[in-house]
Amino acid sequence: MDHERAAPPDRAARPGTRRVGPAARRQRGDVHAARPQDRFDALRAGATRRARRCAGGGAVSALVTPAWLEERLGDPDLRIIESSVDKAAYDEGHIAGAQWVAPYGPLLINGDNSRGNVITPQQFAALMSQLGIEPATTVVFYGNGHSRYAMRGYWTLGYYRHPGPYYVLDGGRERWVAEGRPLTADVVQPAPASYPEPRDVDRGDEATWQDVRAAINRRDAVIVDVRTPGEYEGSDVRSARGGHIPGAVQLEYTDATTGDNLLKPAEELRRMFEARGITPDKEIIAHCQLGVRAAHTWFVLKHVLGYPNVKNYDGSWSEWGNRDDSPIEK
């Protein structure tokens, strides 16, 4: 994608969307005076209509530039979430107003790096409430390490159908710092919110073990293994068994980025994926060890290249490699 393009316009200016500030809340008493769950459902219905319009040919960018974000620092309806490889970077200095979310605990159900799977509805609602996020809140994720944890956070909000706008900062910490934008050591803790527990999820971007098993040897599907060559070949074993899913194409997730943590231009990305048979006419299932690196590839294919049918295998190798009934090649 073109990283020198102008910052995307404020979401409020896009058709069918608008920023919901305090004045707007007072005027929209029909939604905001309702019970929290009713309010959540009404907001999510609007988000679903926008997503359908986007799928029908419109474009809503999932990336925002540093300039776009810096202009909005201090916005009371904005929450910025940093999820970097470790907390040391955050402690040294972070974007003003950013809150720290550890890369494993709040994003994966068991709170460590041994098993994938998205957090539960109860955990999701508790995390959003702790971060001061309401259903209408705009959320921006960023981090380092190719922004993989930020993209996992983005995937998680989509899984639970967060109604408000949510984005990933293009280029992450590295680009923000390289452009000389300000950092602070001040830690801000917004007042807790009351985020309703989601009653259902969007499984359109998720693949299960059964989905992956059924995709093996299908001509209209591609399983993309975004782990390292050692993990793929079985020399780097991180579960009970090592190796790869039969027929899986190995393409490490970092191949989509430059050395400075920027995504490569869209046309270069398209050529790279298509050269490996990863084309938009097929169902694409990305996997790694925990569904984090795979969320990065899912994001690139779906939100940068516009592939219509891309899924993240949430359990990934932490499930596949630990099941006795999983077929494995080396």
SS in 3 state form for 267-326?
HHHHHHHHHCCCCCCCEEEEECCCCCHHHHHHHHHHHHCCCCCEEEECCHHHHHCCCCCC
Block residue for tokens 């957090």: 119
CA distances from 277 to 223, 228, 254, 271 (A): 10, 19, 18, 10
CA terminus-to-terminus distance, the chain? 35
Mark out the alpha helices in the chain (DSSP H runs): 22-27, 29-32, 36-55, 66-71, 87-92, 121-130, 148-159, 172-178, 209-215, 229-233, 266-275, 293-299, 316-320
Positions annotated as catalytic residues are 288
Q: How far apart are CA 95 and CA 182, in angstroms?
A: 7
Amino acid 24 reads A
Give strand ranges (E) for 127-271: 138-142, 166-169, 206-207, 221-225, 249-250
